[in-house]
Amino acid sequence: MEALVAGAIDVTYVGASPVINAHVRTKGRSIRVLAPVASGGNALVVRKGSPLRTAADFRGRRVATPQLGNTQDVDARVWLRSGGLNITIAGGDAQVLPAQNAELIALFKRGDVDAAWTVEPWVTRLVDDFGGEVLVENRDSIITVLASSQKALDGKGDAVKAFVRSHYLLRDRLSADPVLLERLSREALGAESRSAAPKAALISPALRRIRWDLPEDPALRLRRLTEAFGKAQADSRACGLLAGEAPVAPLLQALVDDLPVVRK
C-alpha cells in the first residue's frame, strides 16, 4: 500500500483491511478499488478435540494471525471481542499474535499458540497436515480486491482500465475451467515459495473455500461493497487498529465511474 500511495506501483491485489487503513491514512484522497476479487477462505483453526468452542473460551489463550491489521487479524479481534473479551494491540484477556504464515504454521505445530486465524491455503495445511479443525469460517469476508491510486487513474487511466478488462477476462476463463485454475494456482505458489508446487490434495480443498466475485448488477455491487468496507473500517477502529475515519464513497469512486465490467 505504501508503494501504491507513493506511485511506485499502479495496481495491486490486496486485502480489504490494508485498503481501509491506507484509505484513512490518506484521508480518502488516494486509494481506489477497481474490482472485488474474492471472499471466504478465511477461518479460525483449533486443534482437533480442543475444548475451545466459543470466543469466551479463549480467555488467557493465544491466537496467531498472519499480520497486524490484516483482514484475518481484524476478524480474529472482532470475534474475540464478541465473547466479551478485552483485546488490546499487544494483549488483553487473550493475546493475538501476528506472525508470517510460515511462522504461524510453526507456532501451531509446536503448540505455542492455541489457535490460528488465517486464510487459504494455510487453513487447509493446518487441518490436513497439523491436526487442526475449523472452528469459525467467515465465508463473506472480502479477502482480495484489485486496487489502484487516484494518481495512477489520473495519469495512466487507459492502461489501468485495460488491466481491469484483462482481470475480468481471466476471472471468467478460470471460473469456467477449474482444472486450469488449480494448475496455475499450484504453479504460482511453488514459484513464489521457490519450492515444489503444492500437491493437488492441498490446493483443491483450499480453492473450494474461496468464492470468486462474478458478474453482478453494478448498483448491487456498489451497495454490497459500501456496506462491507464501512463495516471493515468500523471493526478496525473498534479494535484500536485504526485512528480516524474516511468516507467510503471515494474509495469506490472508480466503480461509480464505470470501469469496464465484462459480462457473460
Instruction: Let me know if residue 10 belongs to a domain.
Output: yes
CA dist 240 to 58, 161, 236, Å? 19, 36, 6
User: What is d(CA 20, CA 231) in angstroms, rounded to the nearest whole number?
Assistant: 10
Both 61 and 29 in one domain: the answer is no
Among 137, 152, 173, which residue terminates a domain? 137
Among 137, 161, 186, which residue terminates a domain? 137
Both 21 and 60 in one domain: the answer is no
Instruction: Let me know if residue 26 belongs to a domain.
Output: yes
Instruction: Let me know if residue 263 belongs to a domain.
Output: no
Q: Residue type at 127?
A: V
- Whole-structure pTM over 0.85, yes or no? yes
User: What is d(CA 187, CA 223) in angstroms, rounded to the nearest whole number?
Assistant: 36
252: nearest Cα among 171, 181, 151, 147: 147
What does the pLDDT read at residue 247?
94
User: What is d(CA 16, CA 31) in angstroms, rounded to the nearest whole number?
Assistant: 12
CATH number at residue 11: 3.40.190.10
Both 33 and 145 in one domain: the answer is yes
Both 33 and 103 in one domain: the answer is no
Please state the three-class secondary structure of 102-165 as a single string.
Answer: HHHHHHHHHCCCCEEEEECCHHHHHHHHCCEEEEEECCCCEEEEEEEEHHHHHHHHHHHHHHHH
Q: Is 13 helix (H, G, I), strand (E, B) or coil?
A: strand
Among 109, 137, 165, which residue terminates a domain? 137
Residue the block writes with cell 515444489: 196
What does the pLDDT read at residue 48?
95
For residue 243, the enclosing domain spans: 2-40+141-256
Both 83 and 15 in one domain: the answer is no
For residue range 83-93, what is the model confidence (pLDDT) as tens digits?
Answer: 999 999 888 99
Count the helices and strands in the chain (H runs, E runs). 10, 9
Mean pLDDT in runs of 10 for the chain (264 residues)? 95 93 94 95 95 97 94 94 92 93 92 96 93 94 95 94 95 94 93 86 92 90 93 91 91 75 42
Both 94 and 30 in one domain: the answer is no
Q: What angle do CA 175, 190, 119 make, to 5 degrees?
A: 60
What does the pLDDT read at residue 85?
96
